[in-house]
Chains A and B, each alone.
Chain A
Amino acid sequence: MTTDHTPTGLIGASIRRVEDPVLVAGKGCYVDDIQLPGMLYLAFLRTTYPHAKIISINTNAAKAMAGVLAVVTGEDVKQLNIPVAPMVQDQKIPPHPLLARGAVHEAGVAVAAVVAQSRALAQDAAGAIEVEYEALPSVIDAEKALEPGAPLAREELNSNICYVATKKGGDVDTAFAQAEHICRMHIASPRQVALAIEPRGIVVKPEPTGDLTVWLSTQAPHRVRGDLATALGFPEHKIRVIAPDVGGGFGSKGPLYREYVLACHLALKLGRPIKWIATRSEDFVTTIQGRDQAMTSELALKKDGTILGLKVRVVANLGAYLYSSTAGPPQRMMGMAPGSYQIQNCHVEVVAVFTNTTPTGPYRGAGRPESVLNIERLIDKAAKELGLDRLAMRRKNFIRPEQFPYKTGVGVEYDSGDYEKSLAEAMRLSDYDKLIRERDAARGRGELVGVGVSTFVEPSGGAGFESGTVRVERTGEITVLTGSSSHGQGHETSYAQVIADKMHVSMDHVAIRHGDTLAIQQGVGTFGSRSMVMGGGSMTLAAERVIQKARRIAAHLVEAAPEDMMQADGGFAVAGVPEKKVTWRQIAAAAYGGRVPPGMEPGLQETVFFDPRREAWGFGAHVAMVRIDRETGKPTIEKLVLVDDCGVIINPMIVEGQVHGGVAQGLGEALREQMLFGEEGQALTGTLMNYAVMRAGDMPHLTVGETITPNPFNPLGVKGVGEAGTNGAPPAVANAMMDALAPLGIDHIDMPYTAPKLWEAIRQAERRPAARS
């Protein structure tokens, strides 16, 4: 470790992004921007049946069309599947073929694929393929899929249950036996579409050498390369995956998808480059969707609000096919069920269910929002039932700062935190007491106004390791190679701030490289709020090693003792003799020019694979004030205050941008967005015409605050922040909505709070004479 680090002012500075000049000029390079000579186009025929037997497929007309080079069906590629690593013991893993074989299990599954000379020709030919189906009964809702006699989503299995997992801690039975009150609740999180504005896509080029170059819109180039090699049975070291500019991901661009494997397979077979870019409609029904967990809970309490125990049963809708990460969100929900509270007596059961719907998987938060929604609504409901103040009840049960590291009843260890601090800051920023007075005044006028609070934890990092290489080039400029590739997070800026600060150089002396498996050592990727914790952590440690070595070289050059060499602007200087300076350029020239101390290896590059073996638990508190128009049901967010604690902040502008984006998606979930399937399983909200994504006019004003509690377990003191908004905002809004509707005797409505849904609930309540206010 260096001991002479002096602040450069770079950490904590809102440096404008180095990525932007290219992107605002329209000169970014996304996958669809890549044109290769001789490139062919892939298109799919997708079923509209959620569940059906394939009786016959006739590809003759398609094959006969001019410009068509290949038409394939499931039988032609029956050796190829999506590899699924089990995440949970005894998880059932039904086949996940690239193209449907024998049956289709969700609307959107590809039955045949066409390669043709143009995008339009490929689509025309796909449309000329005839498929005869025999419809099978389908099941869409996960809880209904568990009912006796429910249709089987996957007819090759004997039930719709993929797995049942439980976590138990403490003595739940005694806790419930001693309870003075038990609060019960059922709540469902609406299925969401990640909806990165860039649809998924791939360009693949077989190289004359036998290698395969793949440009992919992915969040995790290295992980996908490994999976691709496995799926294709092709050597991993001959595959180069490049994530060029990636137009958003939000979790959904993590997996290896069927189309990618098939594009590679067909490119190898035809010996030509192939492009496939999803249409938005394809993207809707093929890209993993988020949430869709239904929670049934019981909270055992003392009359004073002390939580004695918690039981949660989670029914998670996995969709029809599994990806490796599909079980991620329910498993995360399970590990976070106790939220910010001291709950030792805890029993959480996850029942993961197959249905005839698009597969689910990580979407911004990935189980975190579900768990926060559940526990935060429970606390509010319990406080109301007990006649207690909901904030006092939270404070009474918070895990206290001195209790960290704290192991919860489900056996998960939280590293550090101060939940009271962020709640207090949110109260202060929102002028909470005034909000309550305003609410009460409005209520007196018969208006439906509510105030809601949520407090939350946000685990970040995790998923094993991340890698960082710091290389001082011959001229003293610095190249950083990170396995954490960016898809909008501003890595090239924030990481450069970190390294420039560590190495006492200006940011333009540092280049951050990512997203190319040929250039970068093995890495993992960007998801789960992990980039600064893991990517930043690994490169910081690598930089420290480089600095150590450079210090010895510098000392050697000026014939001083290494311990007398202090980091100085642009290199090192002898302590107390600032003019006796050695620049990074001089050090690099020595490192590559044979002038290193005796016994030292030449060169100036270090790589660190960083695994902190614990997650970084960020936290925060949100306060929402909502108004519901009594006549129309239209909800309005009147105030939204967000306080997040992600430890040390590298670039406040970027962190705030992450909070904004997360909140926008969280508000989408709370107010508008839901992926719906009809009774027959067809996608009802499968285009942007009917999936109600947030628009500019839908966003309320935000008040963004922060508290800073440095992470003691991370080289930079950081925690993740990317998912904070999706975790905290929906339950704050949900609690506010229920607070607004409380005078009508309404105590539960599931998100999203659309005007028709609220209008209906209000009308029903008003028909009950007792509830008239």
Chain B
Amino acid sequence: MAAEIEFAAVPIKVTVNGVKHEAVVEPRTLLVYFLREHLNLTGAHVGCDTSQCGACTIQLNGRAVKSCTILAVQANEAEITTVEGLAREGVLHPVQEGFREKHGLQCGYCTPGMIMTAVSLLETNPNPTEEEIRHGLEGNLCRCTGYINIVESIRWAAEKMGGKNVSR
């Protein structure tokens, strides 16, 4: 059997969904794989290799970021929220609730990324027009829904949140 893998280990510290983590990663590890394979937070999905699909979207220091576009080491000292961190004590975030209420998902693969993008969108623009929602989703692909009910889901959430910037 071949020798065990050796690589230059880089220590990082991140706070994910309010929990502090210290880890040692290979420098080339993408943030999405760090989240998925080191922290077992598999909500962020990998749907492409060109940063087009947005299935891996998370929040990094409060902004929606495609976690396949940055390395884990670049996230050192960052505050990260993944889709797993949106619900509070078993209560879904209004955007998550909206996706269920308005049938904004079918296979569910793009959904965590869509939801994270929508959460960020509503944080910066609590009362978006339909056009603003569609523009906001430009970096997220869905092949099941035709986006129609995703837009409806986000509108539902915006209404539920009272058009206010709800920092959670």
Contact = CB atoms under 8 A, between A and B. Distances in A.
Interface of A: 16-17, 19-21, 23-30, 32-33, 35, 65-69, 117-121, 194-199, 245-248, 250, 277, 279-281, 487-490, 653-654, 656-657, 660-661, 663-665, 687-689, 693-697, 699, 702, 725
A197 B40 contact: no
Interface in B52-76: 52-53, 55
A280 B146 contact: no
B96 A198 contact: no
Nearest to A119: B33
A24 B98 CA distance: 10
A35 B103 contact: no
B84 interface: yes
Contacts of B82: 26
Contact of A197 (B33, B87, B141): B141
Given A196-B107, A197-B109, A279-B49, A120 B28 contact: yes
B84 A26 contact: yes
A663 B147 CA distance: 11
Interface string B1-33: 111111000000000000000000010100001
Nearest to A21: B100
Contact of B107 (A197, A697, A702): A197
Residues of B in contact with A, size category? 35 or more
B108 interface: yes
Contacts of B144: 197, 248, 488, 657, 661
21 contacts: A20-B105, A25-B83, A26-B41, A26-B82, A27-B43, A32-B45, A35-B37, A66-B2, A117-B2, A196-B109, A197-B107, A247-B47, A656-B103, A657-B149, A664-B145, A689-B52, A694-B147, A695-B141, A696-B140, A697-B138, A725-B146
B109 A248 contact: yes
B105 A24 contact: yes
Q: Which of B83, B141, B144: most chain A Cβ within 10 A?
A: B144
A243 to B, nearest CB: 12
Contacts, number: 195
Q: Which of A26, A247, A489, A687: most chain B Cβ within 10 A?
A: A26
B137 interface: yes
A330 to B, nearest CB: 24
B47 A199 contact: yes
B168 to A, nearest CB: 15
Nearest to B43: A26
Nearest to A34: B42
A660 B146 contact: yes
Contacts of A19: 108
Given A32-B45, A199-B47, A660-B146, A20 B2 contact: no
B44 interface: yes
B112 interface: yes
A35 B47 CA distance: 18
The 10 closest A-B pairs by CB, nearest first: A26-B43, A247-B109, A488-B107, A664-B146, A23-B108, A26-B83, A688-B52, A488-B106, A660-B146, A696-B137
Interface in B94-128: 96-97, 99-101, 103, 105-112, 115
A361 to B, nearest CB: 17
Nearest to A653: B103
A409 B107 CA distance: 39
B100 A17 contact: yes
A661 B5 contact: no
B50 A687 contact: yes
Contact of A280 (B5, B49, B112): B49
Contacts of B166: none
A695 B40 CA distance: 30
Contact of B49 (A26, A281, A661): A281
